[in-house]
Every structure is written in structure tokens, then in C-alpha cells.
Chain A
Amino acid sequence: MSLTRRDVEGIAHLARLEITEGELPVYVDSLSKILSFVEQLNAAQTASVEPMAHPLEGEVQRLRADEVSERDAHLKYQANAPLVSAALYVVPKVIE
């Protein structure tokens, strides 16, 4: 599967990754190679096969009791935050 520059720019945008002009051809090349490589999967007969979302077949989701078990620890958690003001995480203006 050969990707174009435009394809890769589109994917990078969806993934919010800045790719420089210089890097772009490298990614076009390696991503194309990877996608070609995985195309081997087309050979497999999977018409009546169920997809496997996780290896725990037959297991179902455990349910948790509805109880408040967490307490305010925002000072500790916000120690890692790049920019905080009045306990809010600050980002460039979100335009609605």
C-alpha cells in the first residue's frame, strides 16, 4: 500500500503530530512499507471468524459498587502540570 504525502499529512493531522518537511518523505516511505507488509493478512480466510478484542474469552466486565473512594488530591496531581492557574489547567483559548 503506497501512501502519498497528502495521506501522511492527513494522518499526522488526525494524530496531532507535527511532521517537518524533511521528515515527511521518511514517514511516507516507512509507513508505506509497513502497510504493504501487513497486507499479507488479506491472504487469511476469515469470512466466518469473530474478531478477537482481547484474550480473555468468556470473561465479562466486573462491576464496581457505586461508592466515593477518591478524595481531593489536586495539589499533588497538578505538580506535574505544565501550566495551572487557580487550579485550572491552562491551554490556548478553546474556540467554540
Chain B
Amino acid sequence: MSEAAVRAGWEVVIGLEIHAQLATKSKIFSGSATAYGAAPNTQASLVDLGYPGTLPVLNREAVRMAVKFGLATGATIAPRSIFARKNYFYPDLPKGYQISQYERPVVEDGSIEILLDDGAKKTIGITRAHLEEDAGKSLHEGLANSSGIDLNRAGTPLLEIVSEPDLRSAKEAIAYLKKVHTLVRYLEICDGNMQEGSFRCDANVSVRRLGKTEFGTRCEIKNVNSFRFVEKAINYEVERQIDVLEGGGSIVQETRLYDSAKDETRSMRSKEEANDYRYFPDPDLLPLAIDAALIDAVRSTLPELPDEKAARFMLHYGLSAYDAGVLTASRELADYYETAVREVGGGGASAKLAANWVMGDFAAFLNRDGLEVGSARVPAAALAGLLRRIQDETISGKIAKEVFELMWADAASADAVIEAKGLKQITDSGAIESAIEAVMAANPKQLAEYRSGKDKLFGFFVGQTMKATQGKANPAQLNELLKKKLAGP
């Protein structure tokens, strides 16, 4: 569903809550490992299990990562922040409370800029980001009428990032989500793996009549685990809410789950009584103090941020905002691109050529094989080698695509493939002329028609000659020579 289809007279208001699992080695309050995929309950210490008498001790790296995020979003870092207990009963919450932050979070009042489809920029406010511990998991397979609780995940550090309700469409929401996703990966504070649950999103969605200033009643859509599903879930929910309101009903504030199979949201089955979390400062933890020294130390570790890098790409490589955005979506891709450009040498033309190839064939092959940039079968230097051969006209752009595919399959260099398959471009005018003559001789009818005015047949002769030379004829030369020869003696 596109922007235009939002029904007339209605405005959509969306706020996103993102839970990013911080990429620390150990948990936020205990020394257990955080590695994904361990056998059940093998990474759950006495502290994680909430054993009587155990106490939390705060992981320094989790704090540094939160500060990093705050600095990267221009936020205020609280000099003192407080951990609070959020009390509720659930089997995956061993202590019967989650240690989180409530009244005084570590990060407040940040913002992130997103690029909209039409190229416009929009600033989205980040109300707060705070540290908290993750809960465990409930598993249901193979257990009749029961659930099995795995507490490996309990105690993993989370950064909960809350946006202002500044988003006005599912598309904006996705742009924001992707931008935050890119940012946390740039900062190396989160691996952003949505399938594994290290980057989770809840969407708060409400609608209101255009022109109204108060917010409508909102519903929270929980735990949607892909960008695509977030977009679909929001769109479904917007439609649902408008239907209800136009039908004279009212929206019940509730939590809903997205069913990707049916593409719909539904109310959570256990009818949620408004949970009274009874927040109070956790007496087992002292106030978290963050001083200028710590902030400066973290600031010095900030990488070039996505927006800065994209701006630099536009300036330096003469790329469009769109291209720059695509190439800087991850640090790995941006680094790959820059290495390729550097290796090719030359000026702006190389930069544009490299951009097209990285965004095009390279990305397509990564996607096809489900690989990350780091595992690409054509390293940046090798791609540069291929691009040089295009530039020096050893091969045509079209042939280059064939070469690239073979380079990928065999992890070979461009030159090796060109040599092995004899794909060198034909630039000998004599050879091209011979080929043209052969084609003209084989197609007297078309020749006659062309000479009597049917200009469109030029393409036919191009195609036939290319075929005759296994695509290796230099296109520019072919064009020139063909024009001359077709024109007649």
C-alpha cells in the first residue's frame, strides 16, 4: 500500500520502540556469555536465574555502547541515570522483575535524519534510549499443554530506543528503522540480526482526522521481525483503525501481534489487563555516573557516521544522494566500494562505474547467495581489476557481466577469466569489417530494405554482427564501421 492510498481525511501517527541487543561478550549484570545458539540454559548463571541471594553488577561495555549511540544521535547523555525495577510475573522473567531504566534513562533527546522516497529529508526525534536486561524465551514444540523456558537470553543487554511519534507513514517508519539499523551496525554496538532477534521493533500506531492535534488511541504491534513485515503490519493496522473509526466505533488501547501468514494484526489472546509495573529504583544498583572523561573516550571511538560518509561520497565521488545512501547502508559495503574505486584509479567516471557495479551485479550476487560483504566471492581489488578492463576497452560492459559471473563462481581474477575464455574485445577494424561483410552477404533482403530507408534494421545488423563475433566486437567501432559499410560503396 503506497502513501497515496492512505484514506482521505486521515493522518497516521507512528512511534517505534526498538530493542537492540548490545554486542557485548557478557551479559549486562552477570558474567555469562551472550553468544547466540547455545544449548538451552547453558548460558544462565545463578544471577541470570534469579537465584536467592544473587546480585547484579553492571557491564562497562554496555554503558559505553549506550553512550556511543547517544553521541551518534546528538542526544543528551545523563550524568546520573538510575536503574529501576519493572515488576511483573512471566516465566521468562526469572526475578519477577526486569532491571530497566524508568524516570532517568542514560540517553535522551536525540534525533536521526531519514531520506524519504522523494529525496526530501526528515528529522525524527529520539525521545530516549535506555539500558535494560532481556528476558529468556518460551518454547512450545513437543510439550503438550506446557512450555519450556530457556534462560540463555535472560540478562543479555538491550538498548531500548524510543522514537518521538514523528512518523507519518509506514514508509517513513521503515526508513527510520533502516537508518537506526544501519547506525547501530556502524557503531558496532549491535549486529542487527532480526532473524536471531538481536534487533526487534514494536510499533505504536494511531490515526487521527487530518487537522486534529490530539493523538488518537494507539495500539502497539509487537515483535515483528523483518522490515517487510513491519511495513505490512503497520499498513494493515492503519486500515483496521480507520475502518473501526469510520464505522462509528472506537479504538481499544491494546497490544496486538502481527500474523505474517494472514497479513493481519490481532489482539493478544491473553486479554491484557493494564499492567501495573510498580517501577521503583533498584536498591541493588547505585546511580550510573557518566563523566566527561568517559564520554570523551567513547567519542574518540566513533567511526565516520552514515550521514557523514554519504555526504562525503556525494562530494568526493560525485554520486547522487540515492546512490550514496545505498552504498553507505553498511560500513562493509562502503569500505568495499571505496577500496574498489581506489584500486581502479582514474577520476569521476571510475567512481560512477564502480557505484553502478557495486549496487548492481555485486549486490545481486551477494543477495542470490545469501552472503555478507565480508564473504563476497569477488573481493574489492578483483572487481577493480574487472572495471579497469572495461575502461581500457579490453572487454565491453556486456561481456564484463559474463566475466563477473565466472569470477564469482571460480573466485578468479578478471584477467584470468578473460584469457581462459578468450573474451577479449575485438578492436581490429579489419576483423570487424570482415564480420560485417559476412553478415551483409548473408542477409541481402534486410540489406536492401535498409538501403531503401528502413533505418530500424540497423539494430538487426548490430545484433547479427555481435553474434558473429561472440559479442566481442567493440561496440563503438562496430557502430561506426557498420554505418559506413551499410551506407554503401
Which residues on A are within 8 Å of B, measured CB to CB?
A: 14, 16, 53-54, 56, 59-70, 72-74, 77-78, 85-96
Contact = CB atoms under 8 A, between A and B. Distances in A.
Interface in B277-312: 278, 281, 283, 285-289
30 contacts: A16-B89, A59-B286, A60-B288, A61-B287, A63-B63, A64-B31, A64-B58, A66-B25, A67-B26, A68-B32, A69-B26, A70-B31, A72-B42, A73-B45, A77-B46, A85-B148, A87-B41, A88-B139, A88-B148, A89-B149, A89-B151, A90-B146, A90-B149, A91-B146, A92-B145, A93-B147, A94-B92, A95-B269, A96-B269, A96-B270
B285 to A, nearest CB: 6
B40 A61 contact: no
B59 interface: yes
B40 A87 contact: yes
B60 interface: yes
Contacts of B479: none
A62 B26 contact: no
Interface of B: 24-26, 30-33, 39-46, 49, 51, 57-63, 80, 82-83, 89-92, 138-140, 143, 145-151, 257, 268-270, 276, 278, 281, 283, 285-289
B150 to A, nearest CB: 6
Contacts of B146: 85, 90-93
A59 B283 CA distance: 13
B143 A90 contact: yes
Which applies to chain A's interface (DSSP): helix, strand, loop or mixed? Answer: loop
Contacts, number: 123
A65 B24 CA distance: 10
B41 A88 contact: yes
A25 to B, nearest CB: 24
B31 A68 contact: yes
B33 A96 contact: no
A70 B148 contact: no
Contacts of B147: 90-94
B342 to A, nearest CB: 35
Contacts of A92: 145-147
Contacts of B40: 74, 86-88
Contacts of A67: 25-26, 31
Nearest to B46: A77
Contact of A54 (B145, B149, B257, B286): B286
Given A68-B31, A93-B145, 4 more contacts: A61-B287, A89-B151, A90-B146, A95-B270
Interface centre among A62, A64, A72, A77 (most CB of B within 10 A): A64
A54 B287 CA distance: 10
Interface centre among A66, A68, A72, A73 (most CB of B within 10 A): A66
Nearest to A53: B281
A14 to B, nearest CB: 6
Nearest to A73: B45
B59 A64 contact: yes
Nearest to A77: B49
Contacts of B89: 16
B424 to A, nearest CB: 55
B289 A61 contact: yes
Contacts of B149: 88-91
B41 A78 contact: yes
Nearest to B31: A69
A83 to B, nearest CB: 9
Interface centre among B83, B92, B149 (most CB of A within 10 A): B149
A88 B91 CA distance: 11
Nearest to A83: B146
